[in-house]
Amino acid sequence: MVTIMDKLQTKEKQSDLRMTRQRRLILEELDTPGMHPTADTVYQRVRRRIPNISLGTVYRNLEILSQAGMVKKLHIGSGQKRYDRTLHRHYHVRCVKCGFISDVPAEPFGDLEEAARGSSEFDILGHDLEFEGLCENCKGDGIQQHQD
Amino acid sequence: MVTIMDKLQTKEKQSDLRMTRQRRLILEELDTPGMHPTADTVYQRVRRRIPNISLGTVYRNLEILSQAGMVKKLHIGSGQKRYDRTLHRHYHVRCVKCGFISDVPAEPFGDLEEAARGSSEFDILGHDLEFEGLCENCKGDGIQQHQD
DNA sequence: GTGGCTGCAAAGAATTTGCATGGGC
DNA sequence: GCCCATGCAAATTCTTTGCAGCCAC
């Protein structure tokens, strides 16, 4: 089991990262704006350019990049984990019908944490906010399948 | 794969629910205040009273109860799903060190969704807010393991 | 050159599902 | 009695890991 101590330690090592072809292409895929791909989606896409890359490598890299703070792991919806290139802080909306995830360009609400501090014994360090709703496609009762 | 249509349909059927011994005890476990157990934790606890209950039954029931709106499925942290008896709307804090999850008794922020509506094409229906922080035990650098 | 990184494959963890039987209503 | 619910076990799905060779620095 990976402990937080592992995480904290790994975070220090981010300068050691070697920029392999695999890692560079994985990062490139994540740079596509508005994407919140699963590990498998990243795998499928990078495979177009490195046909024999392994899914294990993709998982390993997403984990490493996530611990280095270059990528954010999202635990949205009930399915697989998703990954988001962390450029600036933002929120997400998930379509309750098709699962499509989109960015919400709203400014982070700073006072949320202040309010939580008043009613919890925790040291509050941050927050994640996820909206639920119906995406453009699903508003009209259409049952389309959205992409990542 | 379970689609949203399945979900919506099942939601209508909530009156069909039979109150079996298994289902009742699962609900009882979830009634314990402040608990956010995983399926396996529920299984372990109910097993004390129904030794031969199966893990599959626990999963099936948690899913059914969740779709009936009696239980909320939480996707917090990276690990297993957790389940929360839905009595009233509230938020959660997760300890980044030990993973302990606690309720935040703060009142829901209604204006969050209003703000999101302004900057998204989605029909916003709701939101989930999760705080991150350090729990009482972990504040002092202790690396204790919290329970559910 | 060396230590991190990769591909491959097998293992592991979490959850779902098929089927025959059992039990709530 | 009907039909949903259960126990059991196998199957799926997603993710991690061991290992020998490879490659970025």
Q: What is the CATH number of the domain that holds B34?
A: 1.10.10.10
Work out the average pLDDT over B27-51.
Answer: 96
Q: What sections of A48-80 are H helices per DSSP?
A: 55-67
Inter-chain residue contact B125 with A132, CB threshold 8 Å? yes
Domain that holds residue B69: 1-9+17-87
Distances (CA, A) of A22 to A33, A49, A59, A84, B66: 20, 9, 11, 17, 40
Q: Are residues B82 and B102 in the same domain?
A: no
Helix (H) or strand (E) holding A124: strand A123-134
* Total domains present in chain A: 2
Q: Which nucleotide is nearest to A40 (CA to C1')?
A: D14
Instruction: Tell me the per-residue pLDDT of B69-105, one tens digit each, with 9 for 90 and over.
Output: 999 999 998 789 999 997 788 899 999 888 999 999 7
Inter-chain residue contact B133 with A112, CB threshold 8 Å? no
Instruction: Pick the last residue of a domain from B41, B63, B87.
Output: B87
Residue of A119, A131, A134 lying closest to B127 (CB–CB) = A131
Determine the 3-state secondary structure of B139 from DSSP.
helix
Place of tokens 């229906």: B125
Inter-chain residue contact A126 with B125, CB threshold 8 Å? no
Place of tokens 């890359």: A53
pTM for this model (two decimals): 0.86
Looking at the complex, report in whole angstroms how far the Cα of residue B85 sits from the nearest Cα belonging to chain A.
17
Q: Are residues B74 and B62 in the same domain?
A: yes
Work out the average pLDDT over B22-51.
Answer: 96
Work out the average pLDDT over A79-87.
Answer: 89
Measured in angstroms, what separates residue B26's CA from nucleotide C23's C1'? 18
Does the beta carbon of A130 lie under 8 angstroms from any beta carbon of chain B?
A: yes
Q: Are residues B104 and B73 in the same domain?
A: no
Cα A48 to the chain's mean position, in Å? Answer: 22
- Cα(A28)–Cα(A24) distance, integer angstroms: 6
Instruction: Tell me the per-residue pLDDT of B54-75, one tens digit each, with 9 for 90 and over.
Output: 999 999 999 999 999 999 999 9
Determine the 3-state secondary structure of A101 from DSSP.
strand
Strand C atom within 7 Å of B90 CB: no
Instruction: Report chain B's mean pLDDT, rounded to a whole number.
Output: 85
Instruction: Tell me the per-residue pLDDT of A127-141, one tens digit each, with 9 for 90 and over.
Output: 999 999 999 989 876
Instruction: Concatenate the DSSP letters of all residues of A14-36 into one string.
Output: GGG----HHHHHHHHHHHSTT--
Using pLDDT thresholds of 50, 70 and 90, give the confidence band for residue B143.
low
Instruction: Tell me the per-residue pLDDT of B7-16, one tens digit each, with 9 for 90 and over.
Output: 344 444 445 7
Residue of B93, B120, B127 lying closest to A102 (CB–CB) = B120
Q: Are residues B65 and B111 in the same domain?
A: no
Q: Which nucleotide is nearest to A57 (CA to C1')?
A: C6
A chain contacts of residue B121, beta-carbon cutoff 8 Å: 102, 135-136
Inter-chain residue contact A106 with B119, CB threshold 8 Å? yes
